[in-house]
Amino acid sequence: MFANFQISAFIPCAAIGLVLIVLSAILLTGNGAVLIAGYNTLPQREKEKFDASRLSKFIGKVLLPVGVLTFGIGFGWSWFVPVYIAAVIVIVTAAIIYANTGNRFKR
């Protein structure tokens, strides 16, 4: 099961995965909108047009599975890399479509 396990691959993948999971936890509380690229750079007048709490929670929900999957890469399962790539592409594509349709995060 862990025939390809290498600690030198596991440590960076686990560290990145844990950082993503911690950031996701912060965003899921509805705080941390300053961590969202794009929103962070908007002028204050533009930021007031968005519901920062809803946007933060959404990004947190997107980031959590990506963090868990990133953590899993370090185990060295050869079948997991294509699954990881496909899953991240699907998650990110669905998130982009969802976020950019229907003015979901506008006030």
Q: Is residue 104 part of a domain?
A: no
| CA dist., res. 56 & res. 35, Å (int) | 9
CA 8 to chain centre: 24
State whether the Cα torsion 36-37-38-43 is positive or negative: positive
Predicted model pTM:
0.86
User: Which DSSP string corresponds to 34-66?
Assistant: GGSTTTTTS-HHHHTTB-HHHHHHHHHHHHHHH
Q: Is residue 57 part of a domain?
A: yes
| CA dist., res. 23 & res. 11, Å (int) | 18
Q: Is residue 88 part of a domain?
A: yes
Q: Is residue 76 part of a domain?
A: yes
Q: Is residue 107 part of a domain?
A: no
Residue 52: domain span: 7-99
Residue type, position 100, single letter: N
Task: Count up the domains in the chain and report the number.
Answer: 1
Q: Is residue 85 part of a domain?
A: yes
Closest CA to 9 of 60, 58, 72, 55: 72
Residue type, position 102, single letter: G
pLDDT in tens, 14-44: 999 999 999 999 999 998 888 998 888 999 9
Q: Is residue 1 part of a domain?
A: no
pLDDT in tens, 55-75: 999 999 999 999 999 988 888
